[in-house]
Every structure is written in C-alpha cells, then in structure tokens.
Structure 1
Amino acid sequence: MNTEKVAEYIIDWLKDYAINARVKGFVVGVSGGIDSALTSTLCAKTGLPTLCVEMPIHQAASQVSRAEEHIAQLKKRFDNVSEVRVDLTATFEDFKNVVPTIEDTAKVDLSLANTRARIRMTTLYYLAGINSALVAGTGNKVEDFGVGFYTKYGDGGVDLSPIADLMKSEVYELAAYFGVPNSIQVAQPTDGLFGDSRTDEDQIGASYDELEWAMKMQNEGKTADNFTGREQEVFKIYIRLNTINQHKMQPIPVCEIPENLK
C-alpha cells in the first residue's frame, strides 16, 4: 500500500464530502482503539472542525487512558480538534432498570452490549446535530464487510465510512504513519461492550490477520474443503459470521407491492 497516497486520498475524500454536504466538520467516537484513533486523525487532517467524543459506560481504565492520550495528542497537533466527554453509565443503568429481562443471561448480555453501542450512536448524532457535523464511522473492511463485527444501528450507524475499504493491517500501517500513540498501536483490539477484558479475537475465535486471509480466500472462490487444520477452522469461522451477518451488510429489505395490487 502506498501509505502517503492512500492517506491523502481519504483526507481529500472526507473534506470534499463534508463541503458538498454543506456541513462544518466531523464527530468521531474515540474509544482508545486503533480504528477510532485513525479515523479521528484523518478527520483532523482535513482542517475542518473535528469533535472527538468519549462515551464511557463502565469502561476499563486502560481504554479510557488510551482515548485520553490520543485526544490530547490530536489537540496538541491540530487547532481544529475539540473534545467532549459524555459519561453514559447512568443512562445505561437507567435503561437496564426499565426494560424486561429473561432467564437466558447470554441473550440478555448480548442485547445489553449492543444497547451500549446504540446509546453511543444516539449521543454522536445529537452532537452532530448541534454542531452541524457528520458522524464519521470507524469500521474497517474486515469488520464491516467480512465478519460483520459491529452493532447494527450502533457503531454501524454513521454518515460516512472513511476506513471501511482498509483491511485491519492497513489500518495499523496508516496509524503508524500518522504517529498514533504506541499504547493504542500495541493494544489488543476490543469492542469494550461487555465491561470485561475480552478481546475481539476472544469473541470471534480468530485474529484479524487470520480473518483477512479467510476473506481473501473467499474472494478467490475457495471453500473449506480446500484447507485442513487451523486454516480450515478459521475459514469456517469466517464463512459462518459472513453468512449470519449479511443482514448488516445488505440494504434493508423492502416489501415491494406489485402494481396490480395497489
């Protein structure tokens, strides 16, 4: 990858989109992870107002400190960067207290994890509204179009996706090019939605390097029968997630009524 040229292309694309949309700038949720760090840096590089938003919900201290380090670095480097911290822990707890529950704790835990992401999405759009800005998505290609590892109408609810055509390895490459804090570059990727230390790899069952390989193999028309051992296991993980999460990747189905029935 021509890192410098790709970086310039994304920055120009972001700036042109915002100008054509007649908005002032961008709002980015900053989590302390590599994807949001790169996205917020790219937005900042446009020169347009970029609001970095922290939205802790029972967040691990390490994630909070990485987010704060990154935002402080951006503000030092770019005059167009500002920040706001919205602690949504009480909001999340209030939500838990008013909704019905069931005995299946696994389903409850997953639903509440997705609820965290959706509360954050609502917050970002509120801030975008009052700042005449666009919500910039932080999903990469493997997450958005490979395994669908994001929350529908949560972190998947955005106005534009500047890094969604970058593999995770390319995200790391660009992040290093821009000098994203090392603490973020070396941290294990995590969605931080469960309030514990589980990583993305723990949840998915495969690393991003493995998933990138599987995505490439699928694009080449390979099947599980082409592989054995760990490669076959990873490929099956990828295909299963790619299949069950198509509802996130495809347009919302519309029931089109035949004209003769109208």
Structure 2
Amino acid sequence: MQTEKVVDHMVNWLKEYATTSKTNGFVIGISGGIDSAVVSALCAKTGMRTLCVEMPIHQAPTQMTRGQKHIESLKKQFMNVTNIEVDLTPTFETMKSIFPLAEENDHLQLTLANTRARLRMTSLYYFAGLHGYLVAGTGNKIEDFGVGFYTKYGDGGVDLSPMADLLKSEVYEVADYLEINEDILEAAPTDGLFGDSRSDEDQIGASYDELEWAMHQDDLGKSAENFQGRKLEVFNIYTRLNRANQHKMKPIPVCEIPLHLKKD
C-alpha cells in the first residue's frame, strides 16, 4: 500500500467533504484504541477544528490512559485539536435503574454493551450539533463490511467514514506512518463495552488477520468444503457473522406500496 498517498487521499477527502457540506470540523470519540487514534489524527491533519471526546462508562484505566496520551500528543502537533471528557457512567447507571429488571444472561450483557455505544453516539451528536461538526466514524472494512462488529446506531451512527475501505492490517500501516503512540499500536483491539478485559478476538473467536484471510476467500467464492482444521473454523466464523449481520450493512428495508394501492 502507498501509505503516504493513502493518508493524503483520506485527509483531502475529509476536508473536501466538510467544506462542501459547510460544516466547521469534526468530532471523534476517543477510546484508547487504534481506530479512533488514526481517525482523529487524519481529521487533525485537515487543519479543520477537531474535537476529541472521551466518554468513559466504567472504563478500564489503561484504555483511558492510552486515549489521554494520544490526545495530548495530537494537541502538541496540531493547534486545531481540542478535547473534552464526558463521564457517562452515572447516565448509564440511571438508565439501567429505570429499565425493568432483566434476567442476568448473555442477551442482557450484549444489550447493555450496545446501550453504552448508543449513549456515546448521542453524546457525539450533541457536540456535533453544538459546534456544527461532523461525527467521524472509526470503523474499518473488516468490521463494517466483513463481520459487522459494531453497534447499529452506536459506533455505526456517524456522518462519514474515512477508514471503511481499509482492512485492519492497513489501519496499522497508516497508524505506523502517522506515528501513533506505541502503547496503542501494541494494545489488543477491544470495543471496551463490557467493563472487563475481553478483546475483539475473545468475542469474535478469530484474529483480524484470520478474518481478513476469510474475507478474501469468501470474495473469491470459496466455500467451507475448501478448508479444514483452523482454516475451516475461521471461515465458518466469518461467514456466520457476515450473514447474520447483513442488516447492519444494507440500507434499512422500506416497504414499498404498489401505486395501485395508493389510488382511491
């Protein structure tokens, strides 16, 4: 990949989109992970106002520290970068307290995890509306269009998505070029939505390198019969998640009413 040219292309794309839409800049949720670090750096390089928002909800201290170090690094390099922290933990706990009691199980845990993501989306749009900014998405190709590993109307609720055509391995190439902090580069990817140390790989059952391989095989039209052992396991994980999460990747279904039924 021609990393420098790819970075320039994304930065120019961001700036042109914001200028054309007559908006004042960008707002990005900072998680302490590589995706938000790269997107915030790309937005900062446009020269337009870039607001980095930390939104902890029972967040692990290590994630907070990585995010804070990244923001400070950006602010030293770019005068157009500002930041704010909004502790959403009390809001999250209030929501939990007013909802009906539910049985403790995997469905509840996933629902609460998605609730965290949607609270953060709401917060980002508050600041976007306040300042006339665009909410910049942090998804990449394997998450957004491969396995659908994001929250619908949570971190999937954005105005534009500069990295959605990059595989996770390519995101790391861009991060290395942008000199993103080493602790972020070395950290295991995690969505940080469960209040524990589980990584993306723990949740999915496969690494991003494995998923990229499976995505390529699926694009080639390969089927499970072509593989065995770990490759078969990974291919099945990928295809299962890809099929199950198509509702995230396709437009909302619209019930089209036949014209003759609309006539009296």
Q: TM-score, normalised by structure 1?
A: 0.99
CA displacement, residues 205-243 of structure 1 (integer Å, 9 cap, x when unaligned): 000000000000000110111001000000000000000
Aligned to 2:97: 97
Aligned to 2:218: 218
Aligned length: 262
Matched, 1:115 2:100: no
Equivalent positions of 1:52-67 (< 5 A) are 52-67=52-67
Equivalent positions of 1:1-262 (< 5 A) are 1-262=1-262
Identity %: 66
Which one-letter code corresponds to 2:243 in the other structure?
A: T
Which one-letter code corresponds to 2:52 in the other structure?
A: C
Structure 1 residue 104, shift from structure 2 partner: 4.8
Structure 2 CA distance, aligned partners of 1:112 and 1:161? 25
Structure 1 residue 101, shift from structure 2 partner: 2.9
- After TM superposition, the runs of 4+ consecutive aligned structure 1 residues lying more than 3 A away are none
CA displacement, residues 153-208 of structure 1 (integer Å, 9 cap, x when unaligned): 00000000000000000000000100000000000000000000000000000000
Structure 1 CA distance, aligned partners of 2:30 and 2:161? 15
Structure 1 CA distance, aligned partners of 2:161 and 2:214? 23
Gaps of 5+ in 1: none
Look up the SS of the partner of 1:82 in the other structure.
strand
Structure 1 CA distance, aligned partners of 2:21 and 2:157? 18
Q: TM-score, normalised by structure 2?
A: 0.99
Gaps of 5+ in 2: none
Which one-letter code corresponds to 1:97 in the other structure?
A: S
Which one-letter code corresponds to 2:88 in the other structure?
A: L
Structure 1 residue 100, shift from structure 2 partner: 1.3
Structure 2 CA distance, aligned partners of 1:260 and 1:104? 50
Structure 1 CA distance, aligned partners of 2:223 and 2:186? 33
